[in-house]
Amino acid sequence: MENSNAKGDLIALLLSQGRPAPVFQVEAGGPPHERTFAASALVGGQALGTGQGRTKREAERLAAEAALGALNGPPQPASPVAAERGGPWPIYAAVLAEALAVTSSHLPPGTGLDTLRAEAAQLYCDLLSDLGHGPEEA
């Protein structure tokens, strides 16, 4: 599935983890009338994802999608909050990053990751509900 904002989502995810924004390296190949582009999404010199496309933008998007897939791992079951609240919620990377940051700053030191995730998910859902955005229809 194409993510038209994969670069923005990747940047938001990395920043929410306290990591630097990715650097995209792009190389062009092929004859001038049939250019192809190969891109790598790098963080700290490590390639997190690669992509190839007919345009630089497409190659970078595909590299960002691959990096997001690598960082997120295999699909996870729906969280208890999502199940309790009616299904999958839309993802707004900036709002989610802020919910994680705010939750992290308000929890006592040493709080477990599962608690952080649950509290941040609850805050995220509350914020979206207040804005009139609910679960996506399946």
pLDDT tens, position by position, 22-39:
999 999 999 989 999 999
> Average pLDDT, stretch 27-56?
93
The DSSP secondary structure of 69-85, one letter per residue, reads: HHHH-SPPPPPHHHHHT
Distances 114 to 68, 72, 104, 138 between C-alpha atoms, Å: 21, 16, 12, 26
Give me the number of domains the chain comprises.
2
- The string of pLDDT tens digits covering residues 8-18 is 888 888 887 88
Check whether 50 has a pLDDT greater than 90: yes
Round the CA-based radius of gyration of the chain to a whole number and report it: 18
Is 119 part of any domain? yes
**Which domain does 61 fall in, by range?**
6-72
Q: What is the mean pLDDT of residues 57-63?
A: 94
Whole-number Å distance between alpha carbons of 111 and 133: 29
Q: Select the more confidently predicted residue: 114 or 89.
A: 114
CATH number assigned to the domain comprising residue 62: 3.30.160.20
